[in-house]
Structure 1
């Protein structure tokens, strides 16, 4: 596994048989995990990565390389390196199954949420009018494609906004939810914070609703053109929180032409 990780960190593909073996190993780990995976601090929470491989390496450098790490979904699509990104994350999960937690995002069609120290809920998108308690999340069937509506869909697609309670989402999936909804959900479930991803924020992170909710975004210069910062959220064992903010990796500027040629040659196999 260490050899595979070393190879993947060089932005190289695994052989097809290696990739199949890796997927089977990770599958056997994920199938034993619950919809709400319990995690203890200290922990580092990461947001969307979207196939930006060199920025993933920068994220790992800033975060100290595989501490208690918890990417919150949307590992693939839009960036140049979806296969390389998800391969490295899977290899890290296989190598450090108790130290890496992978959450499902709306671009992955795994466990749905996690809870840190019993008081911080990590979810990719947001809340649902069909979900009032954490126990309702625990009993959702996640062994399916993300549906077009309902609680599972909402957890992947919903966004916080300046609305009173609930409003129709312009995304066409999930809901917009407001401060009163967040306050009530946190109170009912004895939570201090909801940490989510799913939305680009220019400064890398954004608190809302009297710091009851935070959006963490981990893809700097999103799509190689948005000029935004990225961040990871560190929760210490004392319960204190701080952010590590970082810019796009320099490697992104060095290989744009090489990427164009590489994509023209195609993948060595289909995943």
Structure 2
């Protein structure tokens, strides 16, 4: 169990929890859902709000003072997750100095009614938006993420519309054309007859406008993109690709090159 606790880095997690409320240090921004789940898994093997911090400030912080809590750590408050997370961290790190009894609100049938269950779902119901994925691309009409959330589903998109752009937009590296033709608009008509084409400058502006770090798309046969059909339609000598995105949003590609002889895909 000590090895699991070291992987979690309890000192770092305790520091994050003690700093919740500082500018830019909300719980959902600094503590990952995976860390909460790992913490609960560790705590299960052993057995905050502002007022909790006041108690520690007055009585002393662990491990310099031994504590026994009687229960009811969640419900009827607005920072249940911070409270129980900090208590579990201290219990795991200082198991001989810090003790937690179970109260009646540490039962799922109770905390489903009095707030804790709802708070968990509300605060961790979705991941922070960092990467926007779509089939086609961007839309000149796209001003905020909320526009995408408000799209009625199912829908048969009409032309022109933001829905058509998300399906038909094409990416084109036309910056050299812009230099030679200054009046060229950044969003050009799509030669397929629907939507537009766009370039890297539009991508960068959209990332800033929507506060996201990455845009991923497919829809075109090029040398490297998320297009999973090698030897497309039996006419193109293209490779297929899968994109791996790590926690730091660093993207790497796995290339699957077509094998013309046996009709199989050969991984590289």
TM range (shorter): 0.3 to 0.5
Q: TM-score, normalising length from structure 2?
A: 0.44
Higher share of residues assigned strand: 1
Higher normalized contact order (CA 8 Å, seq sep 6+, divided by chain length): 1
Q: Which has the larger radius of gyration?
A: 2
